[in-house]
A and B are shown apart, each in its own frame.
Chain A
Amino acid sequence: MAIAVKLDDLLHDRRMTLTDLADRIGITLANLSILKTGKARAIRFSTLDAICEALACQPGDILRFEPEQADCEQN
């Protein structure tokens, strides 16, 4: 998928672990891990809202559009 989740970088900057974040926003570690590894199909606004609040960031800091190689070659 061309949407990349940059949760790792943000957590590193904030010196926070995934478990800490999971505890703060009330989402299971398993689900947060799915999001972090880019395996999620979609993200709820409520989840995005909670992450942004916990990490004091903007949605754009978490999600990035990174065109895949094949898409770039076609264009």
Chain B
Amino acid sequence: MPTKSSPVLPIAHVVLRILIVMNWLYGAAIAILLVALPTRKWIMSALSLSPSPEADRLILGMRAIAVIGIATVPLHYAIFKRLLAIVETVRGGDPFVATNAQRLKIIAWTLLALQLLSLVVAAIARTVSTPEHPLDLDAGFSISGWLAVLLTFLLARVFAEGTYMREDLEGVV
């Protein structure tokens, strides 16, 4: 099947490989921060907190958010790995295969899970924030995020239909 050479695919391949590595580094960094480094005292002094129930709640909330952050690492990996596999099939000139439709469906569900986790993170941040120490995080409801979920589900359906049509066309002489 003739395909026009485009720089998009090699770029996507390299970017996804970099993102996979960065994702693991991000996970490792959070794990180190969570487990190894900060004691309660260290966090209190770093954030200039005075001992109080609110400060304890803030630290607990931050730890919970860090745990969620680690939980997102395998989810991101699941997305990048499948995207990479899809890019490879496009480079091979045969993207309309049933496995790609399945991959996109899994990506869509994973994106949905990430959006839900983002809502949980925002709720935790809101709960533990105090006027003195507001926890401002880039989390919560995102129209673009939910749109991405919807688009990916649609794309999965498009690929499933495309696969069916291509299989049908293969037998036409």
A44 touches B172 (CB 8 A): yes
Q: Number of A residues whose C-beta is below 8 Å from B? A: 12
**A28 CB to closest chain B CB, in angstroms?**
9
How many Å lie between the Cα of A27 and that of B173 in the bound state? 8
Residues 1-46 of A contacting B (Cβ, < 8 Å): 27, 31-32, 34-35, 39-44
- A47 in the interface, Cβ–Cβ < 8 Å? yes
Shortest CB–CB separation between residue A44 and chain B, in angstroms?
Answer: 6
Chain B interface secondary structure, helix, strand, loop or mixed?
A: mixed
The answer to the question of B171 belonging to the interface, with a C-beta cut-off of 8 Å to chain A, is: yes
Name the residue among B168, B170, B171, B173 with the largest chain A CB count within 10 angstroms.
Answer: B173
Residue of B nearest to A40 (CB): B173
Closest B residue to A41 using CB positions: B171
CB distance from B121 to the nearest CB of A (A): 51
Across the interface, A35 reaches (CB within 8 A) one of B168, B170, B173, namely B173
Q: For B170, what are the chain A residues with a Cβ–Cβ distance below 8 Å?
A: 41
Binding site for B on A (CB under 8 A): 27, 31-32, 34-35, 39-44, 47
Please name 18 pairs of A and B residues whose Cβ atoms are closer than 8 Å in the assembled complex, sorted by A: A31-B173, A32-B173, A34-B171, A35-B173, A39-B171, A40-B171, A40-B172, A40-B173, A41-B168, A41-B170, A41-B171, A41-B172, A42-B171, A42-B173, A43-B172, A43-B173, A44-B172, A47-B173
Please report B residues at the A interface, Cβ cutoff 8 Å. 168, 170-173
